[in-house]
């Protein structure tokens, strides 16, 4: 009845209006558009529910509709339903309740294999090692379980016990190699380290590899920095390569270690409000030279740290231009225990630069910001008078590119061939020499192993040739250039073993790192990675700003 009265009243107003008012289009407010589309959406859903020819999967089509709507805004505004919040929370905090091990499931009808327990984890303390096969989890056979399903069975509330039936790779205090035993493991709160590595690189340079910005990481970096100073550090290297960001407050805490108290680190500006974030603690060192390493995967909080230290001429930024994610996300509650991670503002460095890429919907294949003409950017000035620009990400003071790997090497890693070979190696070697003395010398064995596996071993040139050949076939031109195609194809052909041997020097470091992680855990494995890090070695030759 109320709706009818409102409709009649609106009609009466229209009839009683002068002629000029009837021809003058009235502006439609943002509220009108919002209300209109809510009505349209509800009407469509009602009609589908009432009349659609097949059964209607409401949950699926609504989720797809919500995801598509949010994707049209920016890549970081997302809907998180109740059933996905544990994974979302784990991503934000890098913590979960479980046993602390990476597993491998080569065959859905086979056992779960312990691939890599974390140092000091419940799995490691219970004696689970790389190569052990889990046959049951709390009495449930692992046969038929997918890897993710097995992982979920292992996770649980800290303090609870999960019992595995394990086929042991090697003998132990009370079991023989190959024997199946029961192994109870008490779950704990697993905290994946944010400071992944901290040590001296040489007599002068202290080094910290920071993987993400999680709660408390500012204090971890502080402690690592002070320990490095005790070892005689004269220059501090903070490695943010591959660091996709995290908590804004922790980025502020890390900058506060190196600049005076009360210094502006970053500001955010949204539709309704702007906020400034300043350091609130006394620094630990305002003089030591700092090198910050970045690349195209350094994003968000990584860009806040590198941008602020660059703007104050407090650090030398080295590497390649960062990702360009300068958007602030806020978590809002939704009905039925859902959440909306919503972009509410943009970040700005102390000099006024916006970190966000001008066009975040179009990027290079590796996710990095594409070329931006200077005419589309603006100049800003650091504390020391140097010119810096906005337009997307942080441009380093010295560009030093990382090592480029062949398509074959990427394929070996991404297809899991290196990981599978590592398990093969562990099964056949009870131990390896100490980390600094270990060098992988069984490459012929790896070639034989990999040659027997199915993976895409084409070179980049051969992959391009195959794409070109397909296009020629679609255009009906294959016959016209058949002789040239045959000659080119023959020159590009290379058998799997020959190609593997050709790329030996770039493949071996990946194998060494994986093997060392299985015997000595992650930190020593990172030391192996640094052994071959040409980008880091070149960065250390650059002068300080």
Does residue 26 lie within any of the structural domains? no
Residue 16: band (very low, low, confident or very high) from pLDDT cuts 50, 70, 90: very low
Is residue 199 domain-shared with residue 187, that is, in the same domain? no
Express as a percent the part of the chain with pLDDT over 70.
91
Element containing residue 88 per DSSP (H, E): helix 85-93
Does residue 203 lie within any of the structural domains? yes
Whether the predicted pLDDT of 92 surpasses 90: no
Is residue 275 domain-shared with residue 394, that is, in the same domain? yes
Helix H, strand E, coil C: the string for 265-294 is EEEEEECCCEEEEECCCCCCCCCCCEEEEE
Domain extent for 61: 33-72
Residue 373: band (very low, low, confident or very high) from pLDDT cuts 50, 70, 90: low
Q: What is the CATH classification number for the domain harbouring 361?
A: 3.90.226.10
Residue 419: band (very low, low, confident or very high) from pLDDT cuts 50, 70, 90: very high
Taking residues 506-512, what's their average pLDDT? 97
**The last residue of a domain, from among 160, 191, 222:** 191
Does residue 466 lie within any of the structural domains? no
From residue 209, give the alpha-carbon distance in Å to each of 221, 284, 539. Answer: 10, 19, 15
Does residue 68 lie within any of the structural domains? yes
CA–CA distance, 233 with 50 (Å, rounded to integer): 72
Is residue 280 domain-shared with residue 214, that is, in the same domain? yes
Q: Residue 298: what pLDDT?
A: 96
Taking residues 495-506, what's their average pLDDT? 95
Does residue 483 lie within any of the structural domains? no
460 belongs to the catalytic site: no
Lowest mean pLDDT among 63-67, 117-121, 170-174, 533-537: 170-174
Catalytic residue, candidates 94, 325, 390, 397: 325
Strand blocks (E) in 402-474: none
Whether the predicted pLDDT of 15 surpasses 60: no
**Rounded to 5 degrees, what are φ and ψ at 311?**
-65, -30
Q: In this predicted model, what pLDDT tens digit does every residue of 439-456 receive, in sequence order? A: 999 999 999 999 999 999
Is residue 353 domain-shared with residue 205, that is, in the same domain? yes
SS3 247: coil
**The last residue of a domain, from among 164, 191, 218:** 191
Q: Residue 434: what pLDDT?
A: 97
Q: What is the mean pLDDT of the chain?
A: 89
User: How far, rounded to the nearest angstrom, does the alpha carbon of residue 442 sit from its chain's CA centroid?
Assistant: 32
Whether the predicted pLDDT of 366 surpasses 90: no
Q: In this predicted model, what pLDDT tens digit does every residue of 429-442 receive, in sequence order? A: 999 999 999 999 99
Q: Residue 21: what pLDDT?
A: 42
Residue from 188, 245, 194 nearest 224 by CA: 194
Does residue 62 lie within any of the structural domains? yes
Whether the predicted pLDDT of 26 surpasses 90: no
From residue 141, give the alpha-carbon distance in Å to each of 136, 150, 260, 493. Answer: 4, 10, 58, 45
Residue 75: band (very low, low, confident or very high) from pLDDT cuts 50, 70, 90: confident
Does residue 11 lie within any of the structural domains? no
**The last residue of a domain, from among 399, 417, 446:** 399
311 belongs to the catalytic site: yes
Q: In this predicted model, what pLDDT tens digit does every residue of 284-336 receive, in sequence order? A: 999 999 999 999 999 999 999 999 999 999 999 999 999 999 888 888 999 98
SS3 181: strand
Is residue 99 domain-shared with residue 41, that is, in the same domain? no
Whether the predicted pLDDT of 539 surpasses 70: yes
Q: Residue 360: what pLDDT?
A: 55
Q: In this predicted model, what pLDDT tens digit does every residue of 172-231 receive, in sequence order? A: 888 999 999 999 999 999 988 899 999 999 999 999 999 999 989 999 999 999 999 999
Residue from 203, 305, 328 nearest 257 by CA: 305
Catalytic residue, candidates 151, 256, 300, 351: 300
Element containing residue 104 per DSSP (H, E): strand 101-104
Q: Residue 545: what pLDDT?
A: 82
Q: In this predicted model, what pLDDT tens digit does every residue of 511-526 receive, in sequence order? A: 999 999 999 999 999 9
CA–CA distance, 382 with 97 (Å, rounded to integer): 45
Is residue 163 domain-shared with residue 301, that is, in the same domain? no
* Higher per-residue pLDDT: 79 or 74: 79
Is residue 204 domain-shared with residue 163, that is, in the same domain? no
Does residue 421 lie within any of the structural domains? yes
- Name the burial class of residue 198, with classes exposed (0-12), middle (13-18) and buried (19+) by CB atoms within 10 angstroms of its CB: buried
Whether the predicted pLDDT of 537 surpasses 80: yes
Is residue 40 domain-shared with residue 134, that is, in the same domain? no
Residue from 310, 328, 331 nearest 319 by CA: 310
CA–CA distance, 514 with 358 (Å, rounded to integer): 39
Is residue 165 domain-shared with residue 262, that is, in the same domain? no
Question: What is the total count of domains within the chain?
Answer: 4
Which strands make up the sheet holding 398-399, listed edge to edge? 195-200, 205-210, 235-239, 290-294, 316-319, 398-399
Q: Residue 357: what pLDDT?
A: 80
Q: What is the CATH classification number for the domain harbouring 145?
A: 2.30.42.10
- Contact of 480 with 434, CB cutoff 8 Å: no
Is residue 369 domain-shared with residue 231, that is, in the same domain? yes
Residue 426: band (very low, low, confident or very high) from pLDDT cuts 50, 70, 90: very high
Is residue 204 domain-shared with residue 187, that is, in the same domain? no
Catalytic residue, candidates 132, 295, 311, 533: 311
Q: Regarding beta strands 205-210 and 235-239, do their DSSP bridges make them parallel or antiparallel, or are they unpaired?
A: parallel
Is residue 150 domain-shared with residue 288, that is, in the same domain? no
Residue 18: band (very low, low, confident or very high) from pLDDT cuts 50, 70, 90: very low
> In sequence order, what DSSP letters do the residues of 343-367 get, joined into one string?
EEEEEE-TTS-B-S-S-TT---TTS
493 belongs to the catalytic site: no
Q: In this predicted model, what pLDDT tens digit does every residue of 27-55 receive, in sequence order? A: 567 778 888 989 998 999 899 889 989 98
Taking residues 141-145, what's their average pLDDT? 94
* Higher per-residue pLDDT: 418 or 473: 418
């Amino acid at each position: 009845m109320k709706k009818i009265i409102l409709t009649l009243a609106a009609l009466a107003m229209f009839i009683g209006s002068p002629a000029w008012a009837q021809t003058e289009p009235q502006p439609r407010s943002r509220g009108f558009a919002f209300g209109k589309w809510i009505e349209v959406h509800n009407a469509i859903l009602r009609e589908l529910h009432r009349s659609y020819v097949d059964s209607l999967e409401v949950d699926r089509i609504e989720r797809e509709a919500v995801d598509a709507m949010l994707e049209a805004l920016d890549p970081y505004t997302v809907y998180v339903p109740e059933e996905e919040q544990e994974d979302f929370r784990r991503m934000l905090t890098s913590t979960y309740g479980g046993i602390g091990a990476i597993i491998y499931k080569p065959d859905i009808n086979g056992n779960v294999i312990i691939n890599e327990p974390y140092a000091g984890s419940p799995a490691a303390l219970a004696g689970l090692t790389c190569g052990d096969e889990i046959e049951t989890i709390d009495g449930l056979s692992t046969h038929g379980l997918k890897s993710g399903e097995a992982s979920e069975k292992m996770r649980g509330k800290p303090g609870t016990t999960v019992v595995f039936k394990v086929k042991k790779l090697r003998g132990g205090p009370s079991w023989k190699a190959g024997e199946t035993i029961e192994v109870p493991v008490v779950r704990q709160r697993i905290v994946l380290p944010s400071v992944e590595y901290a040590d001296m690189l040489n007599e002068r340079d202290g080094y910290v590899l920071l993987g993400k910005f999680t709660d408390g990481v500012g204090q971890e970096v502080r402690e690592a920095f002070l320990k490095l100073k005790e070892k005689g550090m004269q220059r501090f290297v903070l490695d943010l390569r591959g660091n996709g960001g995290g908590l804004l407050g922790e980025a502020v805490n890390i900058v506060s270690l190196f600049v005076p108290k009360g210094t502006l680190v970053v500001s955010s500006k949204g539709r309704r409000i702007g906020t400034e974030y300043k350091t609130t603690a006394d620094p630990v060192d305002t003089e030591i030279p700092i090198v910050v390493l970045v690349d195209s995967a350094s994003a968000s909080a990584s860009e806040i740290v590198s941008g602020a230290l660059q703007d104050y001429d407090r650090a030398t930024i080295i590497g390649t231009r960062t990702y360009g994610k300068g958007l602030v996300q806020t978590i809002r509650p939704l009905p039925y225990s859902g959440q909306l991670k919503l972009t509410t503002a943009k970040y700005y460095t102390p000099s006024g630069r916006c970190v966000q890429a001008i066009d975040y919907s179009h990027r290079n294949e590796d996710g990095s910001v594409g070329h931006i003409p200077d005419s589309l950017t603006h100049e800003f000035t650091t504390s020391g008078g140097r010119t810096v620009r906005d337009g997307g990400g942080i441009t380093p003071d010295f560009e030093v590119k990382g090592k480029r790997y062949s398509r074959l090497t990427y394929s070996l890693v991404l297809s899991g061939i290196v990981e599978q070979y590592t398990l093969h190696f562990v099964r056949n070697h009870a131990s390896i020499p100490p980390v600094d003395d270990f060098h992988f010398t069984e490459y012929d064995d790896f070639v034989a192993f990999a040659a027997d596996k199915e993976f895409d071993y084409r070179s980049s040139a051969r992959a391009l040739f195959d794409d070109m050949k397909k296009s020629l076939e679609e255009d009906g031109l294959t016959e016209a250039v058949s002789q040239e195609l045959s000659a080119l194809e023959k020159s590009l052909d290379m058998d799997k073993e020959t190609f593997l041997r050709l790329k030996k020097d770039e493949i071996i470091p990946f194998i060494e790192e994986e093997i060392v992680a299985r015997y000595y855990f992650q930190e020593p494995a990172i030391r192996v990675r640094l052994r071959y890090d040409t980008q880091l070695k070149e960065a250390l030759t650059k002068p300080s700003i």
